A and B are shown apart, each in its own frame.
Chain A
Amino acid sequence: MRHFIIKSLMALTFVGTNAAAQDYEYNLPIKEHIFENGLKLLVIERPGDNRVAAKIWTDMGALNEISGEYGAAHFLEHLMFKGTPTLGARDWETEKPLIDEINATEKAMISELNRARNDIRERGVFHDYQHEKTTPEIARLQKHIDDLERKVEDLTIEGTTMKWYQGFGGTRLTASTEQEYMHFDIDLPANRVDIFLRIEADRMTNAIFRKFDAERMILVEQRIGFLNRLKSRYLEAMESLVGRTSNVYIPEGYMTDFKNYTRQYERYLYDTYFIPNNSTLIFVGGVTMDEMIPKVENYFGGLERKPEPTRYYGQEPLPSGEKKLIYRDNKLSPRVELRYQIPGVGHPDKPHFDVIKEVMRNRLQKNLDDKEIGGSVNVSTMVVHTNNYGLPSSIHFAAIYEDTEKLDASEEAMLAEIKLLSEENILDEELKFAQKTLRTQWYRAASDPNRLNFHIGHFEVMDSWKTLKPYLEARDKTTVEDVKRLVKQYFIPDNRTIGKVIPRGEGQ
């Protein structure tokens, strides 16, 4: 009996010490509260902070889009800045019938478009659908919508949401939509958090899609701004080759998609996903859970729980053959790149790939330099995504050059280095250094309440906020054997996509 007590005490002491050490490493004292309507509230209390980083996360994004409407989730984010009946309306009583008429006219226009689709379709070698073609009826209905929008314009006050945030000391105002999420953000004096709750509860339930066609053009601006970067088209071409079904491999809308967006489809997305039981409020900073619960209740408590959104996602098929992209461009620096699909967040192997990325970052540059192949080496993983629907993440090894002379040698050397990694154990010091690098990166992120909030929310929509800390800890537990095993398992020819950028020759 005595032995048992001593053993128990020892065990407790050990657990206690261990927990304390872990807390120091990854200090994530997250408190959770779930309201009756399903809304989740997460708080990290940082006593003494004068400000608070606030975000509201919705579990929806590009994964919920369908072909022909890519970017619709991102567009919805833009529309949700256009106000509500109580924010941005000069005279809602007069505006409401106009909004209703716009929606009805659009419905009629969609019917006409569906009826006339075969008549207005044009086929060509590269474009088999010309969106500019129309019918007199479509043109008439569009003109009617334009006229109504102009009337609405006179009845609205632009920028109202932002105005009040800024007027109460809000900074870092932004919103973001990715494959798994949409979030709206602000950083406020902590005692002014009510303004965030007031505006976001309203935005979640009463958004009015004003200035629909003007806002559509902002997406065009963002898209061409992205395409202006020399490497954008190459990166999109690579993405499209790496994976097959997941929307993570598809851009945030093509030009033709922007023209397809309708109020009707955007409303469907909004009504389906912007519900309390699909949303998470996260606060990091000078607030407490005790004070936040009644405040959130006041603004969000009246919102009803709705049916859980249906989610049909295709499972990403396993890769089944090596692929190669030859990208010809005279402006983009020549490069060679190897990509391998790896699992996303939620899969137990994912944290180890973060370590492998760091190990390879150090090895590749040294290896290419030693062989006098040189080049600027870049090792990265794709923007982090969920593993809930099959793979999809990928790891990239690239080397960039002034000319094409060393591309083949570089490819050969990179492949040899990967092979070596599957055959020989990495050194313990390599492993430890990679782990230290990752820890430092995490501390830099966690030092900023806004970035910490982001990581918590991102994990919540990809997997669960509860797996963030185990994920970070798992990276510290990666072993030499894990590295060898995963390189052998994933870095195989059938799972490889090779990209090469070379200049465009005469006549190509």
Chain B
Amino acid sequence: MRPEKRHKLQLFYEILCAIEDDIVHNKVARPTHIQHNCRLSYDKMMNHVIELERRYLIYREKTSGLISSTSKGKKFVKQYNELIKLIESIGL
């Protein structure tokens, strides 16, 4: 069965969570690990990573390519969690 199309916000959230998860387990977040966690093609994942960087939600090192989430990115994850809880609570 074809998987449900994910909303852009959900993809951003999953990428940011994957970054945090990778940092917790491996001390650093690598793009390939994030790609694996988010179940995205590398091209699509990189497009989203570029957009997240442009919005200052993540920071990417130029030389190593390692990724970390900014305080704005952490705030986004928090707000997303609140939104999901709110939507769930009203049955939407």
A pairs with B:
no
**Which residue numbers of A lie inside 8 Å of B, CB to CB?**
none
